[in-house]
Chain A
Amino acid sequence: MKQIVLTVNGRKHSYIPGESFLLEVLRDHLELTGSKVCCLEGECGACTVIMDGKSVNSCLILAEEADGAEIITVEGLAGEDLSPLQGAFLDNAAAQCGFCIPGQLMAAQALLDRNPSPSRAEVREALAGNLCRCAGYEQITDAVLDAARGPT
C-alpha cells in the first residue's frame, strides 16, 4: 500500500497503512479506540467520525481514501475539559452502556457545527444513523438540545 498522510484531531500522521479501512487505521494504528467496531456495514453509526467537516461512517472508508483528509474523532472533542456537548451528555444521563456514545457525539457535533439551533426533529433526523441498543434515544436527544441551548 501507498503512504498516506492524514490529520487526526489536529495532528498529522504519515505512514503506510496495514489496515484496509479508516476505522481500523484509527483504532489499531493510532490507538484511538473511541470509534467502535460494530456492524461494519454502515448501518449503526458506532464508527462515526467527522471527515473534512462531514459526519461519515469510518468503516466504509478505505484507508487510502483518507489520504489528505482532516479527521476528528471522539478523542478530539475535549480540550482541557470535556466539551459542552460531552458535558450535556453527562448531565442528561445520555450514556447507559456507552458503546454508541462516541458515534452519537460525533453525529451530534457535526449537526451543531452546521445547525447550532436544531429542532428536536432535526436532532432525531441527524442522529437517525446512530443506533442505541440501550434505547437511550430520548436522553441523547435531550442532551444534544441541551448542548445547543448553551449554558443558561
Chain B
Amino acid sequence: MSGSRYERPASLSEAVTLLAGSDNTHPLSGGTDLAVAMRYGRAKPGLVVDLKAIPELAPSIEMADGLLAITANTVMTDLENDERIRKLLPALVEAARVVGSVQIRNRATLAGNLANASPAADTPPVLMALGATIVIHGPSGIRALSVDDFLVDYRTTALDPGELIVAVQIPMPARRSSSSFLKLGVRRAMEISVVCVGASIELDEDGSIVKAGLGLGSVAPVTLRPRNAEKLLVGNTASPELFAAAGDAAGGECSPIDDLRASGEYRKAMVPVLVRRALSIAQERSGVGV
C-alpha cells in the first residue's frame, strides 16, 4: 500500500521487534477492519506486520489446565466449527457466527475483534461474560488482562506500542453453567447490532446463582460490564423475576446513543428484555432449576 511497508515475520519475537521498532506500526491478521481503514485513509501505518506466518499464532483452539486457549490467528469460522466450543461455550459460537458474512468470518479473528475495540463488536460481550483473559506479548514481555481491563475506551485498548494479542483464554465452564448470546438488529445478516448481550451463569444444585457474567454491546462507548446487574444475581435463586430485575439494573447502567440504526431510548428499553432472555436461555442450558 503506498506509504505503508509490509512485513510478514516468521516468528513471534521478530514480530514484536518489528512492531516496537518504529513509531507507526500495526499488526495485521484478518484485516477486515484494518484494510477498510487503510483504503479510506483512516489508518496510515508506516509498517504493517502480517502475523499470519507465525507458528505460535497459527489458528488453534486448545484445552489445557482448565482453560480453552484460542490463538490470535483463529478466525470466526474456526470457532463456529469447533465441536468443543459448540458444546461448552455456545454463546461464543452464537456470536462468532453472526459477525459479518461467511467471507468476513473466514478472515476475521477473535483477537482482532477485541483489538478493534468497537463498542458494537459481537464477541467481546461474550468474552466479558465468560471471564476471558487476553494474553499479550510485547517488548516488555508477557502480560494478561481481563476483557474489562483490555477495552479502555471507544476503539481504544490497553495495548502499548509494540504489543500484540497472542491468545484469548477462557475458563472451562463449570458443570452447572452455561452461556448465551443475543443480538438485536434491523436485519438478519451482515449487520452491526442495535444491542447485543453476552450472558454466563453458574448455578448450584438448588438453583442458587454462584457466578454471573454479563457483557453488553452497542450501549456505551465501550463494551459494557453491568456490574450492578451481576451483583443482583449472585447469591440469589434463579427466577424470571430475578432475571427481570437484573435486566432493569443493566438498563440503568447503559448510556446508548442515537444513531442510524436505533435511538438511544429504544436501545435502553431493549437492554432489560435481552438481558433477561439471555439469562433465561443460559439457565436453561445449564440444566438447573428449569
Residues of chain A at the chain B interface (Cβ within 8 Å): 1-2, 20-21, 40-43, 45, 48, 54-57, 59-65, 67, 107, 110-111, 125-126, 128-131
Contact = CB atoms under 8 A, between A and B. Distances in A.
Contacts of A40: 36, 39
Given A48-B103, A56-B107, A62-B6, A129 B189 contact: yes
B32 interface: yes
A48 B101 CA distance: 11
A85 B172 CA distance: 43
Count class of interface residues, chain B? 20 to 34
Contacts, number: 86
Nearest to B40: A41
Interface string B33-59: 001101110000000101010000000
B28 interface: yes
B100 A20 contact: no
A21 to B, nearest CB: 7
B1 A57 contact: no
Contact of B2 (A20, A43, A57): A20
B12 to A, nearest CB: 19
Nearest to B36: A41
A55 B190 CA distance: 15
B102 A21 contact: no
B104 interface: yes
A126 B100 CA distance: 11
A42 B102 contact: no
A69 B188 CA distance: 32
A21 B39 contact: yes
B227 interface: no
26 contacts: A1-B6, A20-B2, A21-B39, A40-B39, A42-B100, A42-B101, A54-B107, A55-B102, A56-B106, A57-B32, A61-B35, A61-B107, A62-B48, A65-B31, A65-B50, A65-B52, A111-B102, A125-B102, A126-B102, A128-B101, A128-B188, A128-B189, A129-B103, A129-B104, A130-B101, A131-B190
B102 A43 contact: no
A62 B32 contact: no
Contacts of A130: 101
Contact of A129 (B39, B48, B101, B188): B101
A62 B1 contact: yes
B8 A64 contact: yes
Contact of A45 (B6, B35, B36, B103): B103
B39 A20 contact: yes
Contact of A107 (B28, B40, B48, B102): B102
A73 to B, nearest CB: 14
B102 A128 contact: yes
Contacts of B104: 42, 57, 129
Nearest to B52: A65
Contact of B101 (A45, A61, A67): A45
B269 to A, nearest CB: 28
A64 B6 contact: yes
A99 B100 CA distance: 21
Given A61-B31, A129-B102, 9 more contacts: A2-B6, A54-B106, A56-B107, A57-B103, A62-B50, A125-B102, A128-B188, A129-B104, A130-B101
A59 B235 CA distance: 50
Given A55-B102, A62-B48, A128 B190 contact: yes
